[in-house]
Amino acid sequence: MTNLAPTIRLNNGREMPTLGLGTWKSFESDAYHSTRHALDVGYRHLDTAFVYENEAEVGQAISEKIAEGVVTREEVFVTTKLGGIHHDPALVERACRLSLSNLGLEYVDLYLMHMPVGQKFHNDSNVHGTLELTDVDYLDTWREMEKLVDLGLTRSIGLSNFNAAQTERVLANCRIRPVVNQVECHPGFQQRQLREHAKRHGLVICAYCPLARPQPARQWPPFLYDEHAQNLAKKYGRTTAQICLRYLVQLGVVPLPKSSNKARIEENFRVFDFELSPDDVAGMEQYHTGQRTVPFSGMSGHKYYPFNDEF
């Protein structure tokens, strides 16, 4: 019997595994092989996006593992995201159907608005858009996303890269509540205020870059390489990456570590059979710098740019 991650209950009653495979910057064959291996290991939560340009490969891996009897569709929690070029309300349903076609699925479990900032639509193949930003109100986009739940195209909808004020604006005006906010979160950027805000409002924080895009040549970030991190890893008989992921899990955050390395995909998943002491959890707070690794600085002048606020 494969060991699975525990699940967390979302505000609509659905269950989401508390750790997932991230696929940002997993290109084509990497995304395919990573997803296949992750499902064999026990991952049941997979995170992709239209702009990652790997939905087809992730979907192919899922369909093969269903055919092999490794998983059923109902056992896999699949997230994808609405790209900035599809914020125009007239494009939302078509964009979701395009992602479903890429994935080869009839529905996704979670569909996120990737950013509150929209980009000008030229064509679907212009995946990353341009820095021609639009003034489409994310509330108008959200109302179209709500209809995707009605249509059965997604089970849940949520936010990504929204700040607290933007989240509250959605909550005050929505018919269907967002279940998560997916944001950068790791020991170097701990999102304490946003986590507390999300908890008060019944949203789960999912963490992209939960290991902050490590740079081994620079021995960066410190929480993977410094003496304190090494000592913690020795104390628990784990790797420093496992300590970081376990830390996030204990904060109630759902980490989405990305790897295309088979051994690391397995290692990242093995964080549910040990627990950090309260003192060691508190000790991780020393690593918070308040510095993002993904600031989306090209959008910083836009009225809906989320990171000008403190949280």
Residue 14 resides in a domain: yes
Q: Which two tokens stand for residue 163?
A: 């700040």
Residue 296 resides in a domain: no
pTM given for the model: 0.98
Instruction: Tell me what pLDDT residue 208 has.
Output: 98
Residue 279 resides in a domain: no
CATH of the domain at 26: 3.20.20.100
Write down the residue that tokens 């195209």 correspond to: 153
- Residue-wise pLDDT tens digits, 145-200: 999 999 999 999 999 999 999 999 999 999 999 999 999 999 999 999 999 999 99
Residue 100 resides in a domain: yes
Residue 62 resides in a domain: yes
Does residue 126 have a pLDDT over 90? no
Q: Is 302 annotated as a binding residue?
A: no
Q: Average of pLDDT values for 291-301?
A: 94
Instruction: Tell me what pLDDT residue 26 has.
Output: 82
How many domains, in total, are found in the chain? 1
For residues 111 and 157, what is the distance between their CA atoms, to the nearest angstrom?
5
Q: For residue 176, what are the domain limits?
A: 7-213
Give the pLDDT band (50/70/90) at residue 280. very high
pLDDT greater at residue 180 or residue 26: 180
Instruction: Tell me what pLDDT residue 28 has.
Output: 75
Residue 143 resides in a domain: yes
Q: Which two tokens stand for residue 297?
A: 């600085």
Give the pLDDT band (50/70/90) at residue 45. very high
Query: What is the pLDDT of the chain when averaged over all its residues?
Result: 97
What is the share, in percent, of the chain residues with pLDDT greater than 70? 100
What is the share, in percent, of the chain residues with pLDDT greater than 90? 95
Q: 3-class DSSP state for residue 227? A: helix
Residue 283 resides in a domain: no
Q: Average of pLDDT values for 217-222?
A: 96
Q: Average of pLDDT values for 287-301?
A: 95
For residues 39 and 26, what is the distance between their CA atoms, to the nearest angstrom?
16
- Residue-wise pLDDT tens digits, 132-143: 999 999 999 999
Angle at CA of residue 155, ends 149 and 157, nearest 5°: 70
Q: Average of pLDDT values for 274-286?
A: 98
Residue 134 resides in a domain: yes
Q: Which two tokens stand for residue 91?
A: 């494009």
Name the catalytic one among 43, 52, 138, 247: 52
Instruction: Tell me what pLDDT residue 1 has.
Output: 66
Tell me the sheet residues that pair with 208.
Answer: 184
52 included as an active-site residue: yes
